[in-house]
Chains A and B, each alone.
Chain A
């Protein structure tokens, strides 16, 4: 094609319409389509659940309203712990660990990023620490702490309750994660900020405290909340030491009454705890992104 022909070809108006099939999904018809597809998918899932060969027994053993309620409130006379009260233990452990993790995580991140020659051994230690505990399955940490520390016969350290060992294990593991989150946040602050602060004669410490950390906090909050959501769930691991939290209470109920509805209750209770947090985290991430877009 010659240049003139090409120029001519551009003169004919180009086609700009969607294919006819996709035109059916515009506007109100689109709403109808999305409603229909939602109903279809949900209906399909429910149908599978009801029509499966073992559906009836699953409904009886897992979703039995009587047992769900009974396991939720518990019954001391029959030796049944309340799943609801167990959850309060989970919440307590979560709150305690959260504070400890925030603190130790910052210490680890700080030593890892320090520059003083005196702190070199601690720098190596904290790097090793984060590598090791991000790499070991948390279940193993629980066994190592819960069985290992008592075996050491270290007096005070070896005579703690299962709940304390559980908290220690969670704190040890999650501090490693959170230290990395802090470090990423600190690294996300542009280097020019450090140069500007140091050129004003601010010390390393003052630069961190007045300039870098306040800016890092904003980027760090969503990933921190993500880790806390996991932490909240992982409090259930305390059940392996026999601490009576929600999952353990459901387990006791299951072995006594031969009905697993307590587990479903525990699952629902965990969801009630975590869903607001996941929604809030997503909200923060979205807001942060729109702020950044507005700034650019």
Chain B
């Protein structure tokens, strides 16, 4: 299978604080990898490094075999191929739902307006929010906002999606609708790197699960390997605590 994203011995420091300590990870086409680990273990930082929202101190990152840390790389072009969804949605409050989805394709990809509009409406149809296209984000529930944020990322037709604890800020009753959408995407073959605290979801959806502890990727394997028979003590302790 074609490798989409590859991280090799990535080190990231904030001052004296080493947040990522030589993390290596690869993501293949149509693959879903879930990152698990306690808050502060470096999951978010790893995702942000992957689309160059953070600079990397050591190691290498490549997308489709091209090194992203080369000085000749244009980060804006890289990010157009990598969708990102945030814990706190970060929809643009001054734009309608439809405009939120259109802004990337129109102003980053400079695509034709009518065509993009059709696609955006089709995406909204898919998540059952077509009739809310002209509403502003603050009129929507948290779950609806997060689904719009996912669709906003999808509208760029990214090669992969990075999802940063996308259900952590949601009311428990609204988590389901967002996870259902992600399951749906996984089934249709979307390549995703998902940082999550939802263990059952990770178990269902992931092809690979990686456990991150204080910036170290302790263990990686299939959901069975990680959840049923973890090899490392640290993984076992973590899983016992979250269950």
Interface residue stretch chosen among B33-41, B104-112, B190-198, B201-209: B104-112
* Contact of B53 with A by CB under 8 A: yes
Closest CB-CB distance, B63 to chain A, in whole Å? 13
Closest CB-CB distance, B61 to chain A, in whole Å? 15
* Per-residue B-contact encoding for A180-208, CB less than 8 Å = 1, 0 else: 00000000001011011111111100100
* Given A192-B88, A192-B90, A196-B90, CB of A202 within 8 Å of CB of B104: yes
A195 interface neighbour in B86, B104, B152, B156, Cβ under 8 Å: B86
* Contact of B94 with A by CB under 8 A: yes
Closest to A199 in B: B84
B108 interface neighbour in A190, A206, A214, Cβ under 8 Å: A206
B103 interface neighbour in A192, A202, A203, Cβ under 8 Å: A202
* Contact of B92 with A by CB under 8 A: yes
Interface residue stretch chosen among B2-10, B18-26, B74-82: B74-82
Closest to A214 in B: B94
* Contact of B172 with A by CB under 8 A: no
Tally A residues with Cβ within 8 Å of B: 18
A295 to B78, CA, bound (A): 35
* Contact of A59 with B by CB under 8 A: no
* Contact of B138 with A by CB under 8 A: yes
* Per-residue B-contact encoding for A203-227, CB less than 8 Å = 1, 0 else: 1001000110011000000000000
Closest CB-CB distance, B176 to chain A, in whole Å? 24
Size category of the binding interface on chain B: 20 to 34
Is the contact region of chain A dominated by helix, strand, or loop, or is it mixed? helix
A200 to B162, CA, bound (A): 12
Closest CB-CB distance, A69 to chain B, in whole Å? 51
Across the interface, do A195 and B138 meet the contact criterion of CB distance under 8 Å? no
Across the interface, do A215 and B94 meet the contact criterion of CB distance under 8 Å? yes
Across the interface, do A200 and B152 meet the contact criterion of CB distance under 8 Å? yes
* Contact of B51 with A by CB under 8 A: yes
* Given A206-B107, A295-B138, CB of A201 within 8 Å of CB of B156: yes
* Given A195-B53, A295-B138, CB of A201 within 8 Å of CB of B90: no
Across the interface, do B90 and A202 meet the contact criterion of CB distance under 8 Å? no
Closest to B91 in A: A196
- Which residues of chain A have C-beta atoms less than 8 A from B53's C-beta? 195, 198-199
* Contact of B15 with A by CB under 8 A: no
Closest CB-CB distance, A228 to chain B, in whole Å? 24
Residues in chain A within 8 A of chain B (CB atoms): 190, 192-193, 195-203, 206, 210-211, 214-215, 295
Residues in chain B within 8 A of chain A (CB atoms): 51, 53, 75-80, 82-84, 86, 88, 90-94, 103-104, 107-109, 138, 149, 152-153, 156
